[in-house]
Copies of this chain bind each other. A is one copy, B any other.
């Protein structure tokens, strides 16, 4: 059991700032009082403790209120990604069997047409039912659910519990440190673990979150240079934009600024050198939805010597390489610790996340002599494009549904801006143009998942057992 985080935080540091957005700010007491009000309003929609809802909204203060309201009510939140196609959203809503979909009016058009949803304004204007305060939260209660794909191409809904989030925040603080003056700049999507974990840290640390609806290099650079924020999460592509903006204007990081936590694949060494010149510390991290964010971290001081490494595990967790007999041996990366999801929901509810207490990530890597982790191949040929995970199998599944397509293979190709973008390789059984295929994909795939290149080929590279070898696809280019 843990104390209700919202109530406890409001009790301990009522007057500290918990959230700001543009020129508005809210104390932890204000955030808690609002959460209690919204919990009472959710009750008037017959949403009870243990029920599950899906949430779709832009990253604005209303979203934070709604999230905290759901947490206060004890309602599990399935986070929907507004960049997904209505086809993809439909799958997740069905799979999660949510009791309601709560959607911000501006994003309602993204939902599948037949979705029975509750608008944000409907919740805010609803009657507030007096409900009993919950003093303690169970360690294994689910707070959030996020969908992530895998080898099958069917997204799996990953449960993140009270214990998962607190373990993650605690391990992180032992690594990064904490000051009263810390302010975490949040421009990552809240529906991703990279963004949501910032809110969890805020509640547990009593830390101010500076929220932006979208990433904007100018604002980030200015806040970093002025020292009005001290921490930030980023991916390589957003980091690069901040660096360029600061370089062009001769800006330097303020001494108050502590570090940028960079996830979603290794940061090019050149970026690190440039950051260093701006006095900007970059802490690289490896993690995933199943590990409630950060699981390994490479400190700034090690970044040059260990370029390309994801660092070492956080204190309360462990990493081992399946089948590795000695340092340097490659194998599947396995993770253990209180931050690892207990499992999935929906059609994968019966598939255990762990084997003998270890999460098998599907990623391939090795540990060097000193125990630094190197990730050499993301699972299922994962394509990381501007920090977003794209699973080839998901795109292939869509292409294979087209009547003219016989075989389809998708792989990432280099892109100067996004790191990687998906390219599709197609064997046809009937005639079809590339344009026809792309039109077919639209509406079925989020735009960032749309193949940026489509090549009609005679056959796909396959191994002895006739399995598609995605890493050899690019040889066809």
Could you list which residues of chain A lie within 8 angstroms of chain B, going by C-beta atoms? 1-3, 8-9, 11-12, 14, 135, 170, 173-174, 177-180, 204-206, 312-313, 315-318, 357, 370-371
Contacts A312-B12, A315-B8 given; does A177 touch B174 at CB 8 Å: no
Known contacts A11-B371, A12-B312, A3 near B174 by CB under 8 Å? no
Q: Are A205 and B3 in contact (CB under 8 A)?
A: no
How far apart sit A370 and B178, CA to CA, in the bound complex (Å)? 25
Assembled-state Cα–Cα distance A312/B9 (Å)? 11
In the complex, the answer to whether A180 meets B178 with C-beta atoms within 8 Å is no
- B2 near A316 with CB under 8 A, answer yes
Copies in the complex: 2
What are 9 A-to-B residue pairs whose CB atoms are below 8 Å? A3-B317, A3-B318, A135-B318, A170-B170, A173-B173, A174-B206, A177-B178, A178-B178, A179-B179
Q: Which residue of B lies closest to A203 (CB)?
A: B315
Chain B residues whose C-beta falls within 8 Å of the C-beta of A316 in the assembled complex? 2-3
Determine how close the nearest CB of chain B comes to the CB of A258; give it in whole angstroms.
10
Whether B205 and A174, one on each chain, are in contact in the complex, defined by CB atoms closer than 8 angstroms, is: yes
Checking B179, B315, B371 against A177 with a beta-carbon cut-off of 8 angstroms, the contacting residue is B179
Chain B hits for A318, CB < 8 A: 3, 135
Residues of B with C-beta under 8 A to A3:
315-318
A309 CB to nearest B CB, Å = 14
| Known interface pairs A11-B371, A179-B179, A371-B11; A174-B315 also in contact (CB < 8 Å) | no
Q: Which residues of B contact A9 (CB under 8 A)?
A: 315
> CA of A205 to CA of B230 in the docked complex: distance in angstroms?
20
Q: Determine whether the beta carbon of B178 is less than 8 Å from that of A315.
A: no
Which of A179, A204, A318, A370 gathers the greatest number of chain B CB atoms within 10 Å? A318
Q: Which residue of B lies closest to A316 (CB)?
A: B2
The interface residues of chain B lying within 8 Å CB-to-CB of A370 are 14
Given contacts A177-B179, A178-B174, A179-B177, contact A204 B12 (CB under 8 A): no
- Shortest distance in angstroms between A30's beta carbon and chain B's nearest beta carbon? 16
Query: A178 vs B315: C-alpha distance in the bound complex, in angstroms?
Result: 15
How far apart sit A104 and B8, CA to CA, in the bound complex (Å)? 45
The answer to whether B177 touches A312 (Cβ under 8 A) is no
In angstroms, Cα B1 to Cα A317, docked, is: 10
| A180 neighbours in B (Cβ, 8 Å) | 177
A11, B179: Cα distance in complex, Å: 25
Q: Which of A12, A178, A180 has the most CB of B within 10 A?
A: A12
Do the beta carbons of A315 and B179 come within 8 Å of each other? no
Cα A1 to Cα B340 with chains together (Å): 13
**For residue A12, which residue of chain B has the nearest CB?**
B312
Docked CA distance A12–B3 (Å)? 30
Taking A9-B315, A204-B315 as known contacts, 17 extra A-B pairs with beta carbons closer than 8 A to each other, sorted by chain A number, are A2-B316, A3-B317, A8-B315, A11-B312, A12-B312, A12-B315, A135-B318, A170-B170, A173-B173, A173-B174, A174-B178, A174-B206, A177-B177, A177-B178, A177-B179, A178-B178, A179-B179
Give Cα A173 to B313, complex, Å. 19
- In the complex, A315 Cα to B174 Cα: how many Å? 16
A174 to chain B, nearest CB (A): 6
Interchain CA distance A202-B312 in the complex, whole Å: 19
Contacts of A206 in B (CB 8 A): 174
Instruction: Report the minimal beta-carbon distance from A198 to chain B, rounded to whole angstroms.
Output: 16
With A11-B371, A179-B179, A318-B3 in contact, is A174–B204 under 8 Å at CB?
Answer: yes
Chain B nearest CB from A65 CB (Å) reads 22
> Which residue on chain B has the smallest CB distance to residue A182?
B177
Distance of A8 Cα from B313 Cα, bound (Å): 9
Q: How far is the CA of A317 from the CA of B345 in the complex (A)?
A: 31
A343 to chain B, nearest CB (A): 18
A315 to B2, CA, bound (A): 9
Q: Out of B8, B178, B312, which one reaches A173, CB within 8 Å?
A: B178
What CA separation (Å) do A14 and B299 show in the bound complex? 14
A206 to B173, CA, bound (A): 12
Note all chain B residues with C-beta closer than 8 A to A312.
Answer: 11-12
Q: Looking at the assembled complex, report how far the CB atom of A203 sits from the nearest CB atom of chain B, in whole angstroms.
A: 9
CB distance from A318 to the nearest CB of B (A): 6
Least Cβ–Cβ distance between A305 and chain B, in angstroms: 13
List, in ascending order, chain B residues with CB within 8 A of A315's CB: 3, 8-9, 12, 204
How far, in whole Å, are A42 and B96 apart by their CA atoms in the complex?
55
Residues of B within 8 A of A313 (CB): 12
